[in-house]
Chain A
Amino acid sequence: MKLPFFPPDLFADEHAELLDTVRRIGTDPAQRFILGERTAAFEAALREHTGAADVVACSSGTSGLILVLRAMDVGPGDEVVVPAFGCAPLAASVIAVGATPVFADVHPWTMTVEPYEVEQAVSGRTAALMPAHMFSVMADMPAMRELANRHDVRLVEDSAVAQGGVLDGIPAGRWGEAGVFSFVQVKTFGTVGEGGVVITDDPELGRLARMLRNHGQPPGRRFEHHLVGYNSRFDEITADVQLRRLPGLAARLARRADIADYYTARFQEVVERGVQPPPPGREGRCHYVYSLLAERRDDLRAHLAERGIGSHVYYPTPLPAQQAFAPYARAGRHWPHAELACARTLALPIHPHLTDAEVEAVADAVCSFPGGAR
């Protein structure tokens, strides 16, 4: 068996359609390739899909976070509380707008930011909280919303990984004043290139994000630049592909959830051998990445590799310990749970086109790991 962690055959059944998309758009008499009618239709489809007041397509999830922070006028002198464990854009987007990231530790099992750590990190300069959903678990958004209200700060939801997740009846992306989705190919709604959206129920944030993504120009006012904006646009090829793939998303998410349920049920037997699966259940869950916490993570990784099964370590180093972000880390502060997560996390293949036999083989391989003390 050879099962790579990053599947190279994501769109194996769609080659003809993908080629047709490029040829059709390239030869379309309209010759409109960026932010055209397909992008508008895609935004409308996602508005309907999520119930959000506005969806603004942009060049990536990272860029979406920057557009949201700028739309909220977060900038120099402001602080934004972000998780100490997660992807670089959590800190880099804050720095990109001139503000300072303040790191809060995460829960040792869910790896999402701890509300009491966020509360401790809030200061008089805090402008926003930016929790992130992590792997398959949504952050404690009711607590985040309560904290944001109590401290009168903005709430940005890094929902880049969580499209389709629902917590207390509210979809991921709509707990914050604004959230984002990312469509880079490995994501649950991954596509044939880079792309993302800002999702918001606040029409003013949507209006500002729309201007900021296209050089600060108001809609229909070419070469009139009201804000120092970005080039963070969506192209018609990607929009066409995403419109075609949106109806199948629910089934692909369900398949991911089924695989996760199966893994989690199987892995109860390895808990005593130092391999911890994520919490069971489907409430507040998004099955982007299925990540174990293993005492002997590197041994488990080697054990799987010997059996032809690829795995991946997101993220080996806490954000405040990375060279780029260490200058922003408060002296004397520690993030022990983030460090523990970095040492123990190991992600298994969970993409929806895995066969049942492949899923069973992955589970068998994990269950045959002898484990033991580190």
Chain B
Amino acid sequence: MEQAATVSGFLTPQGTRVPFFSQAAGFAALWPRVEPLLTEVLERGKYSHGPLVGAFEQALAQWTGARHVVGVNSGTDALVLLLRAAGLTPDAEVVVPAFSFVASASSVVLAGGRPVFADVDPLTYAMDPDATAAAVTRRTRALMPAHLFCQTADLGALSEVAERYALTLLEDSAEAIGMRWDGVHAGLVGAGGVLSFFPTKTLGALGDAGAILTDDDRIAETAAALRHHGRFGRTVDDFPAINTESAVPGLNSKMDDFQAAILLAKLGTLDADIARRAELALRYTERLAGCPGVRRLPTVVRRDVPSNPVFYVYLVEVDHRDALVRHLTAYGVETEVYYPTPLPLQPCFADLGHRRGEFPRAEHACAHAVALPLYPDLADDDLDRVCDLVRAFYGGGGA
């Protein structure tokens, strides 16, 4: 199969790299908006947990409709602080997806609880409501579905499960900026959620940053204290707060003001960026539809209520996935395998004793899924080239 591509004549010259992610051109274009905000950081003189962090939190609260936004050092930290602020008691169980980034489960351990895995839905890759209900035990305190790639989990059904067993619904909405369920932003359907601003995210910083979203005053107040060594009261943009006594054992998870300034500037183009991502996703789908070897294109599931998909990742399921990845790499096209191993089978969770075969849908996704380049800077021509290479690999001919 790899032979087919190398002999086909339509390939653009080697060396035209299509990176998995770049925001270089977009950042250069945005610089006139970034620079004054960075200058404000320099003039105010507080470089973390400062005035720009406060301004970004406010702007993001407005954009998402969250009552509270708590800026922290990363999406992972946001999950840990959210779980702790939501009152997770030691050894309490939290049901999490078997297919996700590791933080969906490691955050539970870091917050002192125990992750219990549920298999995922084959279309949304999010925690399946029936599997979730089956994973509930007497020790379960919370459900924490993850919204992956382009759409939320079935929040209607998961809310029902949470209600039936009197559990707290938290959302690993790290990837889900812009996604909404019946008009409510991801992370706010349950008691609270998070956002990650890892650079490749739909809203990405130039370093690590994250936030907690919640409408719950108490969760917000506790999470805000936990990020600053357990100190309650105002700490943002307040140097002397470093001598306030610790009311609860906390962490240091403050956001840098440079990152907040960059995020604040990027928030201004977020709607346009999301629209561009949708346009690119549609173009992929048009060009890859019917391609032999491509088993599944992203499928946005229709819900009973309005739900806004946002294409953070364009994920396809394919035959001979690893060979396709090598083929694309050889032609300078970078991809990512989200995620190669089900979480229950990761070495760090070996003590939970899970075996292959227990989470078949997660295992299927891990074996076949691959993410193609998708970001506002991606040129249509480059996207077309990726599709041509995929088609060529499977012997489907060029576009």
Contact = CB atoms under 8 A, between A and B. Distances in A.
Interface stretch (B61-69, B118-126, B163-171, B341-349): B341-349
A26 B348 contact: no
Given A19-B39, A193-B259, A215-B76, A236 B24 contact: no
A194 B73 contact: yes
B309 to A, nearest CB: 24
Contact of B251 (A18, A62, A227): A62
A182 to B, nearest CB: 9
A116 interface: no
B22 interface: yes
B243 A313 contact: yes
Interface in B1-52: 19, 21-24, 27-28, 31, 34-35, 38-39, 41-42, 44-48
Contacts of A248: none
B21 A31 contact: yes
Given A194-B48, A312-B240, A25 B110 contact: no
B331 interface: no
A228 B257 contact: no
A325 interface: yes
B206 A216 contact: no
A322 B244 CA distance: 10
Interface stretch (B101-109, B184-192, B314-322): B101-109
Contact of A230 (B75, B110, B206, B250): B110
Interface residues of B, number: 66
16 contacts: A6-B239, A15-B42, A22-B206, A26-B262, A59-B208, A92-B229, A92-B246, A95-B249, A193-B258, A224-B341, A228-B349, A229-B106, A236-B206, A312-B240, A314-B243, A324-B250
Contacts of A29: 22, 24
A191 interface: yes
Contacts of A314: 242-243
B99 to A, nearest CB: 12
Nearest to B73: A59
A50 interface: no
A19 B38 contact: yes
B339 interface: yes
A323 interface: yes
A228 B249 CA distance: 20
A216 B251 contact: no
Interface in A21-45: 22-23, 25-29, 31, 33-34
B254 interface: yes
Contact of A92 (B19, B45, B250, B258): B250
A211 to B, nearest CB: 10
A88 B38 CA distance: 30
Interface in B326-341: 337, 339-341
A63 to B, nearest CB: 6
Interface of A: 5-11, 15, 18-19, 22-23, 25-29, 31, 33-34, 59-63, 87-89, 91-92, 95-96, 98, 184-186, 191-194, 215-216, 223-231, 233, 235-238, 312-317, 322-325
Contacts of B73: 59-60, 194, 231
Contacts of B205: 33
B76 A312 contact: no
B76 A230 contact: yes
A236 B258 CA distance: 12
B259 A312 contact: no
B145 to A, nearest CB: 20
Contact of B24 (A28, A63, A227, A233): A28
A26 B206 contact: yes
Q: Which of B48, B231, B249 has the most CB of A within 10 A?
A: B249
A128 B293 CA distance: 57
Q: Which of A92, A184, A186, A231 has the most CB of B within 10 A?
A: A231
Contacts of B48: 184-185, 193-194
A7 B251 contact: no
A228 B256 contact: no
Contact of B106 (A26, A59, A228): A228
